[in-house]
């Protein structure tokens, strides 16, 4: 089977937006994507060349202490062998509480006729490990929305075009589209591969744990999908779209809680709701004075949430990171992070994933295009690890 072109996948996951459907030749889109993948070798591509803004950002900040950003090590293709302890050497660094996957939107553009294409794109399933190296996981074609479990497994969605070459209308009701929930073992073996698409219903993977995948289903709300049996249970019912978006967008799940962005996109306010998974009662409504950016992440115990956000500053964007108490809304940290400057119509910098080292310290990945950009860069080429903590 052929992997679904990226534009179709994007429309399926964002089908709640009020955009008119349009005809697309899926075979042509697939050929274009394949050509771009060959040119970019180690990077995945954004299907059609569109100007997708990079968002988020951070600088290495600690309360009372600053740490230099650590450059990422070379890409690995498989898990490293068990580490060995050398007599007299310092003890190994404990593994972070959460795994950090490189993820986020990117874009490319050809600024000059006949000139090179430039931009910044992410890998399909690249993981920043605790030692600073990047592990490139082998995943099936069409893989999206990776959630990394503590036991080494990956949970994600696999989109497949079952009617390659057939001209038809894109959208959540498109014919001949398969969406499977997959669980890959630490060795890359498929443990679960199950069709979960309901035609006409957009869906998103909001999170996962050892027992469940949490799916945001259009017209339903947040459901738990049991990994072993496939049984689903509606946890939080949201039968209608909110501001034209699927419920539980930019969501994260941890410690029996779910945090998600609510309200319309607004450069003056980032609004989030924290709810209990059991029953859906709202614990708090959190706000920060700016637009929500990617990489929102709950701490392992669910007591804190890291919220990157941005504010306009002339033609640039200033970025900050807030760390909020999920029960009271108390702001435990709110630090300036950096500034992104547009490059050929694209935002030049942003965050590409976040994960907590422990219950008080979070890692964020930042990548920014050089000036001037000369090619299409992978996030792993330019990324820096940024650490922010609270007392």
Q: What is the mean pLDDT of each run of 10 residues along the chain (391 residues)?
A: 55 41 39 43 31 32 34 45 50 82 85 88 89 92 95 97 90 92 96 96 94 95 96 92 76 95 85 93 94 92 94 88 93 85 82 93 90 90 88 73
Angle between helices 26-40 and 6-13 (to 10 degrees): 110
Instruction: Give the separation between CA 341 and CA 345, rounded to whole angstroms.
Output: 10
Q: Which helix (H) or strand (E) holds 40?
A: helix 26-40
User: What is the three-class DSSP state of 81?
Assistant: coil
Report pLDDT for 244.
Answer: 66
Q: Yes or no: say if 156 and 141 are a contact pair by the CB < 8 Å rule.
A: no
Report pLDDT for 32.
Answer: 45
Q: DSSP of 218-239, one letter per residue?
A: TTTEEEEEETTT--EEEEEE--
Instruction: Give the separation between CA 207 and CA 230, rounded to whole angstroms.
Output: 15
Report pLDDT for 346.
Answer: 81
End-to-end CA distance of the chain: 51
Residue with token string 């469940």: 212
Q: Yes or no: say if 179 and 204 are a contact pair by the CB < 8 Å rule.
A: no
Whether the ω angle into residue 372 lies within 30 degrees of 0, i.e. cis, is yes
Vertex 227: Cα angle to 224 and 232 (nearest 5): 35
Q: Yes or no: say if 351 and 337 are a contact pair by the CB < 8 Å rule.
A: no
Phi, psi (degrees; rounded to nearest 5) at 13: -75, -20
Report pLDDT for 363.
Answer: 93
Instruction: Give the separation between CA 106 and CA 121, rounded to whole angstroms.
Output: 5
Q: What's the order of all strands across the beta sheet hosting 134-136? A: 75-76, 134-136, 126-128, 100-102
Residue with token string 């600690």: 62
Integer-rounded Cα Rg, in Å, for the chain is 20
Nearest to 389 by CA among 353, 361, 358: 361
Report pLDDT for 84.
Answer: 43
Q: What is the 3-state secondary structure (H, E, C) of 142-207?
A: CEEEEEECCCCCEEEEEEEECCCCCEEECCCCCCCEEEEEEEECCCCCEEEEEECCCCCCCEEEEE
Q: Which two tokens stand for residue 342?
A: 């547009």
Report pLDDT for 90.
Answer: 62
Instruction: Give the separation between CA 73 and CA 83, rounded to whole angstroms.
Output: 17
Residue with token string 């007299």: 88
Report pLDDT for 266.
Answer: 82
Nearest to 218 by CA among 247, 194, 197: 247
Report pLDDT for 243.
Answer: 65
Instruction: Give the separation between CA 32 and CA 358, rounded to whole angstroms.
Output: 42
206-228 burial code (b ≥16 CB/10 A, e <16): bbbbeebbbbbbbbbbbbbbebe
Long-range contacts of 320-325 (CB under 8 A, 24+ apart): 320/288, 320/290, 321/58, 321/61, 321/364, 321/388, 322/288, 323/362, 323/388, 323/390, 324/286, 324/288
Phi, psi (degrees; rounded to nearest 5) at 33: -65, -40
User: What is the three-class DSSP state of 245?
Assistant: strand
């Amino acid at each position: 089977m052929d992997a679904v072109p990226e534009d179709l996948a994007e429309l399926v996951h964002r089908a709640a937006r009020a955009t008119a459907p349009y005809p697309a030749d899926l075979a042509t889109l697939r050929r274009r994507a394949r050509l771009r993948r060959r040119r970019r070798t180690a990077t995945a591509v954004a299907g059609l060349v569109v100007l997708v803004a990079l968002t988020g950002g951070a600088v290495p900040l600690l309360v009372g202490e600053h740490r230099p950003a650590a450059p990422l090590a070379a890409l690995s293709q498989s898990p490293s062998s068990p580490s060995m302890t050398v007599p007299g050497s310092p003890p190994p660094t404990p593994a972070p509480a959460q795994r950090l996957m490189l993820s986020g939107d990117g874009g490319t553009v050809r600024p000059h006729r006949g000139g090179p294409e430039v931009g910044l794109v992410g890998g399909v399933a690249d993981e920043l490990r605790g030692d600073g190296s990047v592990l490139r996981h082998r995943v099936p074609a069409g893989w999206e929305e990776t959630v990394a479990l503590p036991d080494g497994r990956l949970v994600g969605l696999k989109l497949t075009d079952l009617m390659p070459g057939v001209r038809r209308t894109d959208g959540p009701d498109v014919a001949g589209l398969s969406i499977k929930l997959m669980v890959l073992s630490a060795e890359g073996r498929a443990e679960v591969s199950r069709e979960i698409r309901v035609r006409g219903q957009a869906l998103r993977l909001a999170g996962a744990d050892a027992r469940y995948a949490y799916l945001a289903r259009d017209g339903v709300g947040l459901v738990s999908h049991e990994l072993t049996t496939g049984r689903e249970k509606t946890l939080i019912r949201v039968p209608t779209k909110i501001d034209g978006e699927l419920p539980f967008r930019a969501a994260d799940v941890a410690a029996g809680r779910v945090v998600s962005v609510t309200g319309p996109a607004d450069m003056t306010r980032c609004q989030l709701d924290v709810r209990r998974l059991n029953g859906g009662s709202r614990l708090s409504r959190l706000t920060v004075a700016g637009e929500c950016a990617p990489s929102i992440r709950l701490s392992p115990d669910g007591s804190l949430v890291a919220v990157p956000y941005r504010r306009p500053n002339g033609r640039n964007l200033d970025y900050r990171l807030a760390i909020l108490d999920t029960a009271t809304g108390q702001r435990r940290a709110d630090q300036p992070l950096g500034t992104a400057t547009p490059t050929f119509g694209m935002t030049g910098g942003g965050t590409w994933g976040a994960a907590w080292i422990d219950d008080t310290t979070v890692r964020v990945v930042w990548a920014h295009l050089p000036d001037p950009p000369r090619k299409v860069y992978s996030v792993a080429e330019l990324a820096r690890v940024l650490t922010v903590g609270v007392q």
